[in-house]
Amino acid sequence: GRALASCHTAAAIIAGDLRAPLPMPDIDTGEFGGEEEPVEGGEVTEEAREEARAEVAKRWSVLVDRISGWSRPNSTNAANLMDKFVEEVANDESLGIEETDLDDLIAPAREGLTAYHEIERSDFDNAKEYQEARADAWGEFVDALDVDFSDLGE
């Protein structure tokens, strides 16, 4: 109980996640205890998978809302946010999601971002065509952020 709580706190501090929730004692017993592991016979339950998918989708939604709300496209910040998302989700052992699974799901978004980033002014006759191409590419990138996480972790 208490050792488990201390391990979670220490792990959060070591990982640099000082925003991690601190373990709280049970209100009735005052004992520290973790949630039961979502496994039956060593296998991850479907309920646990669904909860993990919902949590990943929620985190992704925050990222999408943030990027979609920018007044100007910023491919560097978008790439950094996606990298941070993958790293945080893959490192969150409670979710049990592999980095490669995440990379596969968001690959179309990364490709769209790369296409936006690779547009060069010298490839266009005038600034208007260049700006239109960039606006179209950014729109395609934002559309590609619509990711379905329903098969994640299977």
Task: Quickly list DSSP for 56-90.
Answer: HHHHHHHHHHHHHT-SS--HHHHHHHHHHHHHHHH
Residue 130's identity, in one-letter code, is Y
Whether the per-residue pLDDT at 6 is higher than 80: the answer is no
- What is this structure's pTM? 0.68
Contacts of 90 (CB under 8 A, 6+ apart): 97, 98, 99, 102
Work out the end-to-end distance of the chain between its first and last CA atoms, rounded to an integer number of angstroms.
31
Whether the per-residue pLDDT at 75 is higher than 70: the answer is yes
* The two structure tokens encoding residue 135: 């606006």
Whether the per-residue pLDDT at 47 is higher than 80: the answer is yes
Whether the per-residue pLDDT at 111 is higher than 90: the answer is yes
Are 47 and 38 contacting, i.e. CB atoms less than 8 angstroms apart? yes
pLDDT for the residue numbered 81:
96
The conformation of residue 16, written as its DSSP 8-state character, comes to: T
pLDDT in tens, 85-106: 999 999 998 888 889 999 999 9
pLDDT category at 38 given cuts 50, 70, 90 is very low
